[in-house]
C-alpha cells in the first residue's frame, strides 16, 4: 500500500501496478473500511482498478492528520463486514443495428459475430470501478481474443445503454454520451436513476453477466 | 417569477455542487467560479452556495414578474435595467415588468445572476446544480431557452450595496495559473517540465476553442513524454483542476465533470486559482507556475480569510 498526496485535498492510495483481481479486492476492502469509518472530513471516495482516491475537507483536517488517523485504524480492515457482491444479468441486443463497431471488432479480431457474442457472454465480469460518468461500470477482465483499441476519435454521441469494448475492458453507457469505446450492442436495462438510492445499480466488486437478448 | 428572454450563448443553474457520490461517478458540477457565487449570494442575503444562473456571452436578458433584488458577479459585464446602466458586483432592486439585459462582457468569461429569494428548481442528489450531460438538476436538467420561467419564493429585502474593488478579481489574460505537482509528473522529460511549469520564463499556452464545463483544451508546444513512460495510465480517481495530457502532448484542464481519468497528470491547478478557470476563453494566453504544496495551502487559506470580512 502506497500513500501519497494528490493535490491539496486528495490522498491517493495505491495497492498495485496492474489490473488484477487480487489488487482490486484490496482496493474494495479499503473502500468499505473507509466508508465504515464515516469520517466527516472525508467528502468523497473514488475506488478504481488499483487505487482509492480520498477527497478530504481541509477545513476539518490536514493531509498529515488524516493519513496518521487512517494508519491508526488500519487494523480494523480485517474486522469490518464487507457486503457480498451482487450479480447483475444484463440483456444485450448485439449486432449491427445497435452495435456500430461489431464489424470492426470482427475484422480486427478475425472472429465471427456469433463467436464475439459467445465469448462476450461467456465471462462473469467484475465491476472494477464506476465512474467517468454517473453509473458507468468498468468491467473486466475481457477475454484476450476480444482485445480492440479505443476509437482514435471518439464518437460525439452513442445512445443510452450502449455496450462497448476497449482493450481488456467492457462497459455500458448509462446515458447518451460521447464515447471512445467500440460499441457491439445495446441493453435496455436502466443503470442509473437519480431519483432513488442506490442511484447506480452497480457498485465496485459486483458481478455482471451479459445475456444475448 | 422571472422569464428568460434570451439565454445568452449559454446559461444554466448552478450551486455549490453535488458531493458524496463520486464513488458511482456522480460529479460535483458546481459553479465554476465559486468565489463569485459566494459573493453574489452574500449581496442577496442568501446562503453562500445557494443556486444562481451561470451564463456566458452577451445578450442575456430576463424579465422580472415580481419585485426582487438582483445582482451580477463573476465576469465584468455592461448591463442595464430598463435602460439604466448597472455595474457588476453590486445588488440592485428590480420591479415587476422590468427587463435586465447583459449587453457585453468586458472582462472575464462567465457571469452569475442571482435573486434575493429561493428559486423553485429541481434538487437532485442534494444539489440544484445542473448535470448537463445526464440532464438532471437545476432547470429540468438543461440549459435555459427563450421563454423559460422560474418562480422565486421567500423573496426578502436586502440593502443595496457594492463590493469594493479590492475584492473583485482580475480576469484579464495572460492568466498565470499556479499549479502543484501531479502524480505523473515524472512521465515527462526534464526539459518539457521546465518549459511547461516555468512561469513567465516558461512557455505560454493558448486556450483553444475546445472548451466547455467539462474541460479546457490548450494549444501550444506539446509536452514530451519520456521514452520509458506510458502515454496513458490505468483509469483512476481524478481531482478537479487536474491537467491531463493525452498522447498528443497538449494539456487539458479538467474541471468538475469527470470522476475517473486515464491520461497522465503532470500537475493540477492550485485551489486558489480554480475560480479563474471559469474565465479562460478561446485565444487567452495561459502560463503555468509551479508552487509548493505548503504555498498552495497558504494562498488558499489567505483567499478565504480575505473575504471573511464581507461575509463569504
What is the CATH number for A71?
3.30.1360.40
A71 and A163 share a domain?
A: no
Looking at the fold, whether A181 and A100 belong to one and the same domain comes out as yes
Do B130 and B22 belong to one domain? yes
Residues B214 and B158 in one domain: no
Tell if the CB–CB gap between B239 and A9 is shorter than 8 Å: yes
Of A79, A101, A116, the last residue of a domain is A79
Q: Write down which residue in A43, A63, A79 finishes a domain.
A: A79
Does residue B312 have a pLDDT over 50?
A: no
pLDDT tens for each residue of B20-68? 999 999 999 999 999 999 999 999 999 999 999 999 988 999 999 999 9
Co-location of A95 and A74 in the same domain: no
| Pairwise CB contact (< 8 Å): A7 & B234 | no
Q: Kindly state whether residues A178 and A105 are assigned to the same domain.
A: yes
Do A101 and A200 reside in the same domain of the chain?
Answer: yes
- Number of structural domains (chain B) is 2
**Pair A73, A94 in one domain:** no
- Residue A43: closest CA among chain B residues belongs to which residue? B20
Q: Are residues B21 and B124 in the same domain?
A: yes
Q: Where is the domain boundary, B135, B167, B199?
A: B167
Count Cα neighbours of B213 within 13 Å in the Cβ-side half-sphere.
24
ipTM for the predicted complex: 0.94
- CATH number of the CATH domain containing B208: 2.40.100.10
Cell of A22: 487480487
With an 8 Å Cβ cutoff, the interface of chain B facing chain A consists of 19-27, 124-125, 131, 133-137, 180, 182-183, 234-239, 241-242, 258-261, 268, 270-271, 293, 296-297, 300
- Shared domain for A104 and A206, answered yes or no, is yes
> Is pLDDT at B310 greater than 70 in this prediction?
no
A102 and A192 together in one domain: yes
Q: B23–A53: do the CB atoms touch at under 8 Å?
A: no
| Beta carbon pairs, A and B, within 8 Å | 130
For A109, how many CA atoms within 13 A lie in the half-sphere containing its CB?
26
Q: Closest partner residue to A48 among B133, B237, B297, by Cβ?
A: B237
Q: Do both B162 and B198 map to the same domain?
A: no
The DSSP output letter for B226 is: P
Could you list the residue range(s) of the whole structural domain that residue A48 is in? Answer: 2-79
- Cell of residue A135, nine digits: 453509473
Residue B181 sits in the same domain as residue B138: no
Residue B238: how many CA atoms within 13 Å on its side-chain side? Answer: 35
Q: Where are the alpha helices (DSSP H) in A55-135?
A: 63-73, 102-109, 113-121
Q: Is the domain of B137 the same as that of B202?
A: no
Of A79, A102, A132, which residue is a domain's last?
A79
**What pLDDT shows up at residue B309?**
64
From the list A44, A47, A52, which residue is nearest B20 (CB)?
A44
Residue B311 has pLDDT above 60, yes or no: no
Alpha-carbon torsion angle A48, B260, A138, B222, nearest 10: -120
Q: B86-127, pLDDT tens digit by residue?
A: 999 999 999 999 999 999 999 999 999 999 999 999 999 999
Read off the DSSP letter of residue B307.
H
| Residue A78 region by backbone torsions, left for phi larger than 0, else alpha for psi between -120 and 50, else beta | alpha
Domain end position, chosen among B150, B167, B184: B167
Distance from CA of A134 to the nearest CA of B (A): 4
Ramachandran quadrant class, A9 (left: phi over 0; alpha: psi -120 to 50; beta: rest) = alpha
C-alpha cell at A190: 436502466
Residue B240 sits in the same domain as residue B158: no
Number of domains in chain A: 2
At A187, which CATH number?
2.40.100.10
Residues B195 and B215 in one domain: yes
Rg of chain B in Å (alpha carbons): 20
Residue carrying the nine cell digits 440549459 = B143
Asked if B135's CB is within 8 angstroms of A31's CB, the reply is no
Residue B79: give the domain boundaries: 2-167
Task: Report the residue of chain B nearest A44, measured CA to CA.
Answer: B20
Binary contact (A48, B242; C-beta < 8 A):
no
Cell numbers standing for residue B97: 415588468
pLDDT surpasses 80 at B308? no
> Between chains, do B268 and A6 touch, taking CB under 8 Å as contact?
yes
pLDDT-derived band of residue A86, with 50, 70 and 90 as boundaries?
very high
Task: Chain B: give the shortest CA distance to residue A113, in Å.
Answer: 29
Quick: pLDDT tens for B193-242: 999 988 888 889 999 999 999 999 999 999 999 999 988 889 999 999 99
B83 Cβ neighbours under 8 A, 6+ residues apart: none
DSSP code string of A120-136: HHSSEEEEEEE-SSTT-
Asked if A134 has any chain B CB less than 8 Å from its own CB, the reply is yes
How much of chain A is in helix, strand and coil states, percent to nearest 5? 25, 35, 40
Last residue of a domain, one of B117, B136, B167: B167
B137/chain A closest Cα distance in angstroms = 9
Amino acid at each position: 500500500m502506497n500513500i501519497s498526496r494528490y493535490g491539496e485535498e486528495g490522498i491517493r492510495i495505491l495497492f498495485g501496478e496492474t489490473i488484477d483481481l487480487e489488487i482490486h479486492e484490496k482496493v474494495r476492502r479499503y473502500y468499505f473500511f473507509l466508508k465504515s469509518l464515516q469520517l466527516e472530513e472525508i467528502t468523497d471516495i473514488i475506488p478504481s482498478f488499483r487505487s482509492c482516491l480520498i477527497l478530504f475537507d481541509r477545513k476539518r483536517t490536514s493531509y498529515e492528520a488524516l493519513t496518521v488517523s487512517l494508519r491508526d485504524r488500519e487494523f480494523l480492515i480485517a474486522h469490518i463486514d464487507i457486503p457480498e457482491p451482487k450479480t447483475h444479468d444484463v440483456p444485450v441486443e448485439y449486432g449491427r443495428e445497435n452495435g456500430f463497431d461489431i464489424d470492426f471488432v470482427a475484422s480486427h479480431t478475425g472472429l465471427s459475430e456469433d463467436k464475439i457474442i459467445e465469448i462476450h457472454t461467456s465471462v462473469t465480469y467484475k465491476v472494477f470501478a464506476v465512474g467517468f460518468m454517473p453509473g458507468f461500470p468498468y468491467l473486466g477482465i475481457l477475454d484476450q481474443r476480444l482485445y480492440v483499441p479505443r476509437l482514435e476519435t471518439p464518437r460525439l454521441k452513442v445512445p443510452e445503454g450502449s455496450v462497448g469494448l476497449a482493450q481488456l475492458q467492457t462497459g455500458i453507457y448509462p446515458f447518451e454520451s460521447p464515447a471512445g469505446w467500440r460499441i457491439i450492442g445495446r441493453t435496455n436495462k436502466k443503470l442509473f436513476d437519480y431519483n432513488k438510492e442506490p442511484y447506480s445499480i452497480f457498485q465496485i466488486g459486483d458481478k455482471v453477466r451479459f445475456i444475448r437478448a | 417569477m422571472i422569464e428568460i428572454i434570451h439565454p445568452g450563448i449559454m446559461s444554466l443553474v448552478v450551486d455549490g455542487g453535488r458531493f458524496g457520490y463520486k464513488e458511482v461517478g456522480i460529479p460535483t458540477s458546481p459553479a465554476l467560479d465559486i468565489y463569485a457565487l459566494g459573493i453574489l449570494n452574500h449581496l442577496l442575503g442568501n446562503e453562500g452556495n445557494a443556486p444562481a444562473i451561470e451564463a456566458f456571452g452577451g445578450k442575456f436578458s430576463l424579465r422580472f414578474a415580481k419585485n426582487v433584488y438582483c445582482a451580477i458577479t463573476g465576469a465584468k459585464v455592461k448591463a442595464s435595467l430598463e435602460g439604466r446602466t448597472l455595474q457588476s458586483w453590486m445588488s440592485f432592486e428590480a420591479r415587476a415588468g422590468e427587463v435586465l439585459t447583459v449587453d457585453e462582457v468586458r472582462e472575464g468569461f462567465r457571469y452569475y445572476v442571482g435573486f434575493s429569494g429561493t428559486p423553485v428548481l429541481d434538487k437532485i442528489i442534494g444539489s440544484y446544480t445542473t448535470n448537463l450531460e445526464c440532464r438532471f438538476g437545476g432547470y429540468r436538467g438543461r440549459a435555459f431557452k427563450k421563454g423559460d420561467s422560474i418562480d422565486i419564493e421567500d423573496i426578502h429585502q436586502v440593502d443595496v450595496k457594492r463590493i469594493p474593488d479590492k475584492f473583485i478579481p482580475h480576469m484579464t489574460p495572460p492568466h498565470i495559473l499556479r499549479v502543484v505537482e501531479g502524480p505523473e509528473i515524472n512521465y515527462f522529460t526534464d526539459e518539457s517540465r521546465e518549459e511547461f511549469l516555468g512561469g513567465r520564463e516558461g512557455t505560454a499556452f493558448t486556450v483553444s476553442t475546445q472548451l466547455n464545463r467539462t474541460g479546457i483544451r490548450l494549444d501550444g508546444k506539446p509536452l514530451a513524454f519520456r521514452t520509458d513512460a506510458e502515454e496513458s495510465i490505468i483509469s483512476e480517481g481524478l481531482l478537479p483542476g487536474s491537467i491531463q495530457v493525452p498522447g498528443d502532448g497538449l494539456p487539458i484542464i479538467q474541471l468538475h465533470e469527470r470522476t475517473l481519468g486515464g491520461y497522465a497528470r503532470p500537475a493540477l491547478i492550485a485551489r486558489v486559482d480554480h475560480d479563474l478557470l471559469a474565465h479562460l476563453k478561446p485565444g487567452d494566453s495561459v502560463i503555468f507556475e509551479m508552487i509548493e504544496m505548503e504555498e498552495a495551502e497558504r494562498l488558499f487559506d489567505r483567499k478565504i480569510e480575505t473575504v471573511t470580512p464581507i461575509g463569504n
